[in-house]
Amino acid sequence: MKPFLFLLTPLLIAAAEPDRAANTVILDETSVKHLRLEFAEAEETSFEETVFALGHIEVLPGKKAIVSSRIPGRAFSVLVVPHQQVDVGAEVAWVESRQPGDPPPVIKLEAPINGMVSKVDIVQGQPVTPDSSLIEIVNLETVEAVASVPQHLAGRLAAGLQAHIRVNALPERVFEAKIAHIATVADETTGTIEAAFHVANPEALLRPGMRAEFSIVVSHRENVMSIPRSAVQGDASQHFVYIKDYELKHAFVKVPVVLGAQNDRFAEVLQGLLPGDEVVTRGAYSLGFAGKGSVSLKEAMDAAHGHPHNEDGTEMTKEQIAAAGHEGHEHDDHDAGRWNMLTTFFASTTGLLLVLLIVSMVLNRKAAAH
């Protein structure tokens, strides 16, 4: 029976990993560089439970000022333009008084705060009155980010909760801030309540009117297996990730996963991964269109182990190696693998029949002697 067990060994190995060849993408070094793949380890961490909300950026209260004239007259000169940075006390315009004189008296208008000129509603020679809003200046060193949180989640909010804030104009940046205050009155029309954050803005990247997305952290859970959300592919019915193969270079295996809670950055993994598995975070979507890759599983296994393998990654038997060497001159690798198995089967069967024939002959001779 040993020939039959020897024959079945590679089949049992293949049955243990039936989908390995189908779910493995093997690339050459050039392809890996082109895809610019990035990785992250699956690990147990502190997992944030978040509340999602939409909102926008506003000028922080007290950080906007209007320049106006105390006397009626006309604009003698305008010294600033929109988006210009000015310091407190800087000359921004001169107004010529309506009082008689030769020349008529003029007064200087100064910037009341440090900041950026956001509006200039005056041109040279334009009549002005004390109630005219001539120039608007805003200070953007700190801005207010206002989140419109659904009312049914309002009970989970509290001053001091941290939030991750993103704006569409800066998709690669994440701004961190804490809730400064929560609105006293909810908006009945939209069914939301406002939560305001004071966000440091030293580079003036955040501008009033920008739309923002808020992930407000309301709780933490410890020792939760999680991976970056960018690694997760598929849809709600079937999620999967690509992980680095444990032995083959530039090989990535498609693994189904069962997910739990998700926040803006991470997804909880309930089944499918072990701590230390390296998942593909950047380039995972592209791997789905790479087919089986640019290197076959057989070539990768041969290079990794230093001896020949079948197309499905199982090790070749001595009979298969011998048959592959004999048939290789006339058949391709696929046909050789198929005939190797058939040849081994017939060789084993013939050997067994030969043994049975010899035993039968010996028994017949003994019976004849008696």
Beta bridge partners of 243: 253, 279
What backbone torsions phi and psi does residue 261 show, to the nearest 5 degrees?
A: -70, 155
Same domain? 100 vs 169: no
| Helix%, strand%, coil% for the chain, nearest 5 | 25, 40, 35
Same domain? 123 vs 103: yes
C-alpha–C-alpha distance, residues 196 and 201, integer Å: 15
CATH number of the domain encompassing residue 159: 2.40.30.170
Report percent pLDDT > 90 for the chain: 58
Predicted TM-score (pTM) of this structure: 0.66
Beta bridge partners of 167: 212
Query: pLDDT tens for residues 219-228?
Result: 999 999 999 9
Same domain? 164 vs 175: yes
Same domain? 55 vs 179: yes
Point out the domain boundary residue: 91, 112, 138: 138
Point out the domain boundary residue: 95, 111, 138: 138
Peptide bond before residue 228 is cis, with ω within 30 degrees of 0: no
Question: Residue 156: what residue type?
Answer: R
Same domain? 93 vs 214: no
Same domain? 304 vs 365: yes
Please report, for residues 21, 213, 301, 332, the alpha-carbon distance to residue 327 in angstroms, rounded to integers and kept in the order given. 24, 64, 21, 8
Query: pLDDT tens for residues 257-299?
Result: 999 999 999 999 999 999 999 999 998 888 877 655 444 545 5
How many domains is the chain built from?
4
Same domain? 92 vs 130: yes
SS3 342: helix
C-alpha–C-alpha distance, residues 195 and 149, integer Å: 7
Point out the domain boundary residue: 221, 245, 269: 221
* pLDDT level of residue 329 (50, 70, 90 thresholds): very low
Pairing type for strands 192-200 and 142-150 reads antiparallel
Nearest of 283, 320, 271, 316 to residue 298 by alpha carbon: 316
Task: Give the range of the structural domain holding residue 229, as residue numbers without chain letter.
Answer: 22-47+223-292
Let me know: does 73 contact 96? Beta carbons within 8 Å. yes
Same domain? 166 vs 186: yes
Same domain? 89 vs 195: no
Q: What is the CA radius of gyration of the chain?
A: 38
Query: pLDDT tens for residues 91-140?
Result: 999 999 988 888 889 999 999 999 999 999 999 999 999 999 999 999 99
